[in-house]
């Protein structure tokens, strides 16, 4: 009897969370895989018999879809510029914050973290106003140094860069905290030994601090890269992919196909291509890391 009770309890503890995850994470993957081979749309939602299997048609169509190709290009644009920027700025700020322990440093830690916990719609509202061509603060400040009005969100390339600035601003916080936690884990004795040997500040930075941050840097790089491959919220709330699809990302393309045009099958196929891209990039990074540690 006691044995039976012991066998039942663990399942009772894990059941609520595991059932919810199964229902809203595991089963959906299978559903997504199945519908990505069908032409399911709004009609199919009402009447399942109207859905038919079309094999790899969706995947073939995607690679001839000019908007999808553009969204891949834009996503790489975001990743290549945004990811290094986020890592460098958050690492620099973490190094500055790690310099002291007085209240000033604690206060500024909170200040730099604030953007990352700010609601994305509020961010869109505030930055939409800042970026406004006529009434925005940015163009006003630039007009003081006689720079012409910049169309922050109206020209495709500038709009992409505007979104990157916003996303870097929002992305610093969490990575800075991870770097800070890692910096605080470095034993003081390393620095003391280096000081005794007469090492300069820069030598300490490049030969002690940065090498010891390797694991944290790897972690931040992997998670940031995965996050930026799914770049979605910023173009969704700021530009809705425009102007002329200039800011559309793969994730936004999937959302629009799925929820604006109700092409569920097509969108699901797009999401698997994104998934594959993420896996390839992540595996590639782990390979690089392995090579790095072997040396």
Partner 1 sequence: MATATKRSKTEKALVIFLLIAGGILVSIPFLWMISSSFKPENEVLAIPPTIIPDNPTIENYINLFTSMNFAVYLRNTIIVVLFSFLGLLFNAMAGYGFAKYHFKGRERIFYLVLATMMIPGQVTMIPVYLILNAMGLTNTMAGIILPGLAVAFSIFLFRQFMTTIPDDLLEAARLDGAGEFYIFFRLIIPIAKPIFAVQGILTFIAGWNSFLWPLIIANDESLYTLSVGLSLLQGQYANNFALQMAGAAFMVIPIIIIFSFFQKYIVEGFTMSGIK
| Contact residue for partner 1 among 59, 76, 191, 275 (CB under 8 A) | 275
- Per CB under 8 A, which region of 26-34, 55-63, 64-72, 148-156 contacts partner 1? 26-34
DSSP state of 152: T
Beta strands in 128-286 (DSSP E): none
* Token reading at 265: 């099958």
Residues found in the chain? 295
Smallest separation (angstroms) from partner 1 to the CB of 269: 11
| Contact residue for partner 1 among 35, 87, 94, 153 (CB under 8 A) | 35
* Token reading at 131: 């970026």
Q: Is 71 exposed, middle or buried (0-12, 13-18, 19+ CB in 10 A)?
A: buried
φ/ψ of residue 39, rounded to 5: -100, 30
Smallest separation (angstroms) from partner 1 to the CB of 52: 17
- Per CB under 8 A, which region of 61-69, 73-81, 124-132, 154-162 contacts partner 1? 124-132
Q: 3-state DSSP call for residue 11?
A: helix
| Contact residue for partner 1 among 125, 193, 205, 244 (CB under 8 A) | 125
Which residues, 244 to 273, sit near partner 1 by CB under 8 A? Answer: 250-251, 254-255, 258-259, 264, 267-268, 270-272
| Contact residue for partner 1 among 154, 278, 281, 289 (CB under 8 A) | 278
The answer to whether the beta carbons of residues 39 and 52 sit under 8 Å apart is: yes
* Element housing 244 (H / E): none
CA distance 139 to 152: 9
Cβ atoms < 10 Å from Cβ of 158? 16
| Contact residue for partner 1 among 69, 121, 147, 288 (CB under 8 A) | 121
DSSP state of 247: T
Smallest separation (angstroms) from partner 1 to the CB of 94: 11
- Per CB under 8 A, which region of 60-68, 75-83, 113-121, 146-154 contacts partner 1? 113-121
CA distance 183 to 94: 8
CA distance 113 to 178: 11
* Token reading at 181: 């936690």
Of 119 and 189, nearer to partner 1 (C-beta) is 119
- Per CB under 8 A, which region of 56-64, 75-83, 118-126, 240-248 contacts partner 1? 118-126
Instruction: Map residues 164-203 to x or -, x wherever contact with partner 1 holds by CB under 8 A.
Output: -----x--x----xx-xxx-xx---------------x--
Smallest separation (angstroms) from partner 1 to the CB of 13: 3
Which residues, 67 to 106, sit near partner 1 by CB under 8 A? Answer: 93, 96-97, 99-100, 104-106
Of 31 and 147, nearer to partner 1 (C-beta) is 31
The answer to whether the beta carbons of residues 221 and 83 sit under 8 Å apart is: yes
Q: 3-state DSSP call for residue 38?
A: strand
Instruction: Map residues 135-154 to x or -, x wherever contact with partner 1 holds by CB under 8 A.
Output: x-x--x--------------
């Amino acid at each position: 009897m006691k044995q039976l009770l012991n066998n039942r309890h663990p399942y009772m503890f894990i059941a609520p969370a595991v059932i919810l995850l199964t229902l809203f994470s595991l089963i959906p993957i299978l559903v997504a895989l199945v519908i990505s081979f069908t032409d399911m749309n709004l009609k199919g939602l009402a009447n399942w018999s109207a859905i038919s299997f079309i094999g790899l048609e969706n995947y073939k169509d995607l690679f001839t879809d000019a908007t999808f190709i553009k969204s891949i290009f834009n996503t790489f644009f975001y990743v290549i510029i945004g990811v290094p920027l986020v890592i460098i700025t958050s690492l620099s700020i973490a190094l500055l914050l790690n310099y002291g322990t007085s209240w000033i440093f604690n206060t500024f830690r909170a200040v730099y973290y604030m953007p990352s916990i700010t609601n994305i719609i509020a961010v869109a509202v505030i930055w939409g106003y800042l970026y406004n061509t006529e009434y925005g603060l940015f163009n006003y400040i630039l007009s003081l140094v006689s720079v012409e009005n910049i169309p922050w969100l109206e020209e495709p390339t500038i709009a992409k860069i505007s979104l990157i600035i916003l996303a870097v601003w929002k992305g610093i916080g969490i990575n800075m905290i991870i770097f800070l936690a890692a910096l605080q884990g470095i034993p003081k004795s390393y620095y003391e030994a280096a000081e005794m040997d007469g090492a300069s500040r820069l030598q300490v930075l490049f030969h002690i601090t940065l090498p010891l941050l390797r694991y944290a840097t790897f972690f931040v790089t992997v998670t940031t890269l995965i996050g930026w491959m799914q770049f979605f919220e910023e173009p969704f709330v700021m530009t809705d992919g425009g102007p002329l699809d200039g800011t559309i990302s793969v994730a936004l393309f999937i959302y629009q196909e799925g929820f604006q045009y109700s092409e569920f099958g097509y969108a699901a196929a797009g999401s698997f291509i994104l998934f594959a891209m993420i896996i390839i990039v992540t595996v590639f990074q782990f390979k690089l890391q392995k090579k790095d540690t072997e040396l």
